[in-house]
Amino acid sequence: METQNVPYKRQIFVCTHNANGEKASCGDHNGEEIFRQLREIAKERKLHPMIRVAQAKCLGQCARGVNIMVYPENSWHNDVRVEDVTKIANQYIQ
Ligand code: FES
């Protein structure tokens, strides 16, 4: 095993898990679409992959989705909706 420093300036984890109605999940509120839009913005701004937008498959707060977790800020956003993408992008993808 090798250990090194995290190779990214920032990591934005967007929960995209969809329980298909069996229980509350981020998929109920377009987690996949939010992930896709944020990833696309990072690419358009030529900040990907130094600012990495990654999918998470459940962050453990399913009823409060869509959940987004950001490092190194150690920030958590819940109840994120597609209309919040611009605000999140302007806060973290710059
Ligand atoms: S489904 Fe997103 S936190 Fe569990």
In a domain, 58, yes or no: yes
Q: What pLDDT is stored for residue 54 in this prediction?
A: 98
pLDDT in tens, 41-94: 999 999 999 999 999 999 999 999 999 999 999 999 999 999 999 999 999 999
In a domain, 74, yes or no: yes
What is the C-alpha to C-alpha distance for residues 48 and 88, in angstroms, rounded to an integer? Answer: 15
Entry pTM: 0.96
Q: Which residues line ligand 1 (CB under 6 A)?
A: 15, 17, 25-26, 58-62, 65, 67
59 CA to middle of ligand 1, Å? 5
Query: What is the domain-level CATH number for residue 87?
Result: 3.40.30.10
Q: What pLDDT is stored for residue 81 in this prediction?
A: 98
CB 53 within 8 A of CB 2: no
Q: What pLDDT is stored for residue 78 in this prediction?
A: 98
pLDDT in tens, 17-35: 999 999 999 999 999 999 9
Owning domain of residue 70:
10-92
In a domain, 1, yes or no: no
Tokens 């987004």 -> residue: 68
Q: Which of 7, 4, 5 is nearest to 48 (CA)?
A: 7
